[in-house]
Amino acid sequence: MARVVIALLAVLVLLSGPSCTKRMEEIVYVDTLIAGNDPPPYDGVSSLQLNIYINRMYIDLLGREATAAEQQLARETLQSDPRDPVRRDSAVAPLTRMPVYYDRLFELASQDFINGADSAEIAGIMFLIAYMWHLDSLAGNLQNYVFYQAELLKLDALLENTEQYQAGVITVNDFFRRLLENWFYDQVNMGSENFVKAAFDDLFLQHPTEAELAAGIAMVDNAPAILFGQNGNSKGDFALIVTQSDAFYEGLIRKTYRQLLARDPSTDELVRHLPLLKQTNNWQLLQRQIIISDEYAGF
């Protein structure tokens, strides 16, 4: 409670003679407690600023605002020193281990790569392909068996992408490679040239050079080529090479900065983040480093 001192003035008027007036004032101090007048409990950080920061991290990572209980828990973690990056990370890190966080990652990636297809749509296409396989087998057209099997395996991997990434079964590289290698991405980006251009745009946020485009097209068309210093001769090789390249990690840093800070990283920031991201493949750590920054917190 804030302690306020209220001054009460008692005025005594004494008359000394008909032509002279003399005033005497006596000041009496009374200590009074006023409810609901709490000062900001943090070092220059208001309750409103803290609430905005907490809600922002929940929206960015989970796609929703924090509940009252989550707000309270985060405030308890931060309140002793909200400017301390260690305390900020203690509030952010648990969010990146929640299943809904991984669901949100796939939702955002699906919007970028496969027109927002969800698990129900993926399962529906798998059913359709399996049915076509069944009809062909009844008609004796067994030559398409390999094609159907390959498409079903890629879609099944896409369907398990979120769960396996959360469990650590696959890396962030595999997570994005599966978003390239599937029926949906092929339908959106028909033709080898469109496929290569789209992969560069979606992964790297930049267009390929003429040499990169030519090498990518050749590789997707099952011809030997060299891309980013790596040999390949298939669409699968292309997807593997582009998601293991330095350009992939740079693109991931750019994506993360644009999502969380609405800007591109500077050259210095790319240089600072790239080695650790390549070494650890830890996308969550990159997100946490940005969210605990003063720029993101806004105070």
> 17 pLDDT exceeds 70?
no
Q: Over 37-92, what HEC string results? A: CCCCCCCCCCHHHHHHHHHHHHHHHHCCCCCHHHHHHHHHHHCCCCCCHHHHHHHH
Q: What is the pLDDT of residue 43?
A: 58
Q: What is the pLDDT of residue 9?
A: 34
Q: What is the pLDDT of residue 204?
A: 98
**pLDDT tens track for 21-71:** 445 555 554 555 566 555 544 458 999 999 999 999 999 999 999 999 999
Q: What is the pLDDT of residue 121?
A: 98
**pLDDT tens track for 120-150:** 999 999 999 999 999 999 998 888 899 999 9
Q: What is the pLDDT of residue 34?
A: 60
> Which residues touch 121 (CB under 8 Å, ≥6 apart)?
184
Across residues 220-230, what is the average pLDDT?
98
